[in-house]
């Protein structure tokens, strides 16, 4: 996730306005920053790695001439956060500059094609192909706008782009597919940005660009066209009435809620990861003598779910280990045949890195799954995958958790394929189902949010909760419990439901709330028995179930229903979503700030 910004001013210099706009978008990524302007038919660019303030202190981003320009603040996906990978990217002749937010899936093929035509690439990004494609089209005498249109037709994946050309220095051309793009319209200026806060200090009139549209900004105003049929689209600006701090969260009151709602998008992004890294990691897992899944907190819950996935799909036994215990528990037995699959959203968690360091000293192979390119984990892992969830600001991990689950499911499926243990038909079916998950999550949020809100009202006064599940759902129960505990400070317990009778059931008295996570899977019969034993002692039963599961719904005091039709191994992603919402609304009910829970930090860099 990156931030893009562009503007055409009737008077004044664009660079300082772009700089200000990018500052407002810094929450979308801050690995590197860059601005390009046009003056007197010439392109001017300043860019470097680092946060905006640091780059500005070094290069004075405001000192670029011209009243038209584009800018970018980067969240690295393809290519490390170095200067050469910073946007804007240009063509061979420095005539065209592009800023981009999204992922171009077919960039490798396009790059090869362009290299064969003699283009020279300066970066490792997917974005640079866009500049060269436009150059190629303009070489064939297409005007700038047509060249951009023909270029975006060739792009697969997601994008919001803004492009300028020294050959036609009076316009900015933008286009959108899946990544957000909005226009800001003022009397004497036009803006384009990833998000409204970027131009809100200048204008509160905004136009949302839709998927499949191209926009031409010029002194004459804005012109929206449908990319495919080139029909003109008329869309008047709307008035934005958000306060600036609301705008930063796209109208959501808290980042956590925004991030829960972003999950359909972040999950779609995980389905676009580059094949070669997934394949490489699968090969390492296949060859490993033993596999440890190492992480803390929410990331550990993803590992726990992954251990069921690897076992059930790929017939690979793994050891999920809480990172802070790794050295004590396995430090001496790790050796050259051991592989650690290390999961860390931040890539900076001290306990996790400590485990990695000790394993590396004993020649183990380290594979990393993280959200932050350039983090310590990406530097020390033999192979890493960036899950591409975009920045997560809320301390409670939500979208990064479901993205971790998605990547780990993909790895387990690939390994199953490689090992030939599961039939092709079954694999294809699972792959298809995995593709459906973003839509399932979207529908689950839409249909259940209000209900969950009411449940939070009903149960707000409870002193403690149980979260129970069986099989892979016990990982979901643990995560639901962690969310509730960390942001609403309600002591809670979670464990595999079969354990109740070995101790914890003694806590149950009438009205004690017990949340069961119950996908319709092989554990269905036994979880019903577990519900019955709690019910018999007067517990209030809250269940998360499949929509058509009348049998369990009848047993419950309250239910949250999800229409997934997914097999058990893929159920954790949609089943955890209502529990994230439950924790969020419970925090609000109890007057707690869900974004900044007490005593916690987003990245725990102490041991």
Q: Which is nearer to ligand AGP, 308 or 584 (CB)?
A: 584
Q: Which is nearer to ligand AGP, 355 or 505 (CB)?
A: 355
Least Å distance, CB 577 to ligand AGP, is 14
Residue 602 falls in the annotated catalytic set: yes
* Tokens found for residue 109: 């093929």
Q: Which is nearer to ligand AGP, 547 or 602 (CB)?
A: 602
What whole-number distance in Å separates Cα of residue 225 and Cα of residue 230? Answer: 5
Q: Within its chain, how far is the Cα of 27 from the centroid? A: 13
Q: Give the dihedral sign, CA 306/308/310/313.
A: negative
Least Å distance, CB 23 to ligand AGP, is 25
Strand (E) or helix (H) holding 97:
strand 96-104
Strands 32-39 and 42-49: antiparallel
Least Å distance, CB 338 to ligand AGP, is 20
- Active-site residue identified among 2, 7, 518, 592: 2
For the chain, the farthest-separated pair of C-alpha atoms sits apart, in whole angstroms, at 81
**Angstrom distances, CA of residue 35 to CA of 17, 52, 68, 215:** 11, 11, 11, 20
C-beta of residue 508 within 8 angstroms of C-beta of residue 539 = yes
C-beta of residue 597 within 8 angstroms of C-beta of residue 487 = yes
What whole-number distance in Å separates Cα of residue 363 and Cα of residue 47? Answer: 39
Residue 421 falls in the annotated catalytic set: no
Least Å distance, CB 536 to ligand AGP, is 34
Q: Where are the beta strands (DSSP E) in 474-539?
A: 492-496, 513-518
Binding residues for ligand AGP (CB under 6 A): 296-299, 344-346, 349, 352, 395-397, 486, 603-604
Residue 74 has phi, psi (to 5 degrees) of: -105, 145
What whole-number distance in Å separates Cα of residue 160 and Cα of residue 182? Answer: 10
What whole-number distance in Å separates Cα of residue 82 and Cα of residue 63? Answer: 22
Q: Which is nearer to ligand AGP, 350 or 427 (CB)?
A: 350
Least Å distance, CB 303 to ligand AGP, is 10
Least Å distance, CB 600 to ligand AGP, is 7
Count of other CB atoms within 10 angstroms of residue 11? 7
Least Å distance, CB 495 to ligand AGP, is 18
- Active-site residue identified among 205, 462, 535, 602: 602
> In what order do the strands lie in the sheet containing 465-469?
492-496, 465-469, 513-518, 540-546, 558-562
Query: DSSP character for 88?
Result: P
Q: Which is nearer to ligand AGP, 73 or 349 (CB)?
A: 349
Q: Which is nearer to ligand AGP, 98 or 396 (CB)?
A: 396
CA angle 219, 222, 226 (to 5 degrees): 145
Q: Which is nearer to ligand AGP, 94 or 603 (CB)?
A: 603
C-beta of residue 513 within 8 angstroms of C-beta of residue 462 = yes
Q: Which is nearer to ligand AGP, 189 or 349 (CB)?
A: 349
How many helices (H) and strands (E) the chain has is answered by 19, 25
Least Å distance, CB 391 to ligand AGP, is 12
Catalytic residue set: 2, 602
């Amino acid at each position: 996730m990156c931030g893009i910004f562009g503007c055409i001013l009737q008077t004044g210099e664009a660079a300082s306005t772009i700089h200000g706009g990018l500052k407002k978008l810094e929450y979308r990524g801050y690995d590197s920053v860059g601005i390009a302007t046009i003056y007197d038919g010439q392109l001017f660019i300043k860019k470097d790695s680092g946060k905006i303030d640091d780059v500005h202190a070094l290069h004075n981003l405001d000192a670029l001439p011209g009243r038209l320009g584009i800018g970018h603040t980067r969240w690295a996906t393809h290519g490390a956060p170095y200067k050469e990978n910073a946007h804007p990217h240009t063509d061979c002749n420095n005539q065209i500059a592009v800023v981009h937010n999204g992922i171009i899936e077919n960039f490798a093929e396009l790059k090869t094609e362009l290299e064969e035509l003699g283009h020279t690439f300066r970066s490792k990004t997917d974005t640079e192909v866009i500049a060269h494609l436009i150059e190629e089209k303009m070489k064939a005498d297409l005007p700038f706008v047509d060249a951009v249109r023909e270029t975006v037709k060739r792009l697969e994946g997601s994008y919001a782009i803004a492009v300028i050309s020294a050959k036609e220095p009076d316009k900015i051309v933008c286009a959108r597919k899946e990544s957000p793009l909005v226009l800001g319209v003022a009397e004497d200026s036009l803006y384009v940005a990833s998000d409204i806060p970027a131009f809100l200090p200048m204008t509160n009139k905004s136009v949302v660009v839709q998927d499949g549209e191209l926009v031409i900004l010029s002194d004459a105003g804005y012109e929206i066209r449908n990319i495919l049929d080139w029909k003109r689209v008329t869309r008047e600006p709307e008035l934005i009435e958000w306060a600036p701090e609301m705008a930063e969260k796209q109208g959501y009151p808290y980042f956590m809620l925004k991030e829960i709602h972003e999950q359909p998008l972040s999950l779609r992004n995980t389905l676009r990861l580059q094949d070669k890294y997934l394949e490489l990691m699968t090969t390492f897992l296949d060859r490993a003598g033993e596999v440890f899944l190492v992480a803390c907190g929410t990331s550990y819950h993803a590992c726990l779910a992954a251990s069921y996935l690897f076992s059930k799909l790929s017939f690979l036994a793994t050891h999920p280990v809480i990172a802070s215990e790794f050295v004590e528990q396995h430090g001496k037995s790790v050796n050259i045949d051991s592989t650690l699959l290390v999961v860390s959203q931040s890539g900076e968690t001290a306990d996790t890195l400590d485990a990695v360091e000790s394993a590396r000293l004993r020649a183990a192979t380290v594979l990393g799954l993280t959200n932050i390119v350039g983090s310590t984990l990406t530097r020390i892992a033999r192979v890493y995958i960036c899950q591409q969830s975009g920045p997560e600001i809320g301390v409670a991990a939500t979208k990064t958790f479901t993205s971790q689950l998605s990547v780990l499911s993909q790895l387990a499926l690939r390994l199953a394929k490689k090992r030939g243990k599961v039939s092709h038909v079954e694999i294809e079916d699972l792959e298809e189902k995995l593709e459906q998950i973003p839509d399932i999550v979207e529908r689950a949020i839409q249909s259940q949010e209000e209900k969950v809100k009411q449940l939070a009202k009903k149960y707000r006064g409870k002193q403690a909760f149980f979260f129970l599940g069986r099989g892979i759902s016990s990982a979901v129960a643990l995560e639901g419990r962690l969310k509730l505990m960390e942001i609403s400070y309600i002591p809670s317990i979670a464990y595999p439901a079969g354990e109740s009778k070995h101790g914890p059931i003694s806590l149950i008295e009438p009205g004690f709330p017990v949340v069961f996570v119950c996908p319709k899977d092989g554990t269905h019969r036994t979880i019903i028995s577990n519900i019955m034993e709690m019910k018999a002692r007067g517990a209030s039963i809250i269940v998360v179930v499949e929509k058509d599961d009348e049998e369990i719904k009848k047993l419950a005091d309250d239910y949250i229903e999800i229409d997934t039709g997914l097999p058990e191994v893929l159920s954790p992603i949609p089943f955890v979503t209502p529990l994230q919402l439950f924790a969020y609304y419970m925090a609000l009910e109890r007057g707690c700030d869900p974004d900044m829970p007490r005593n916690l930090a987003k990245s725990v860099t102490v041991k």
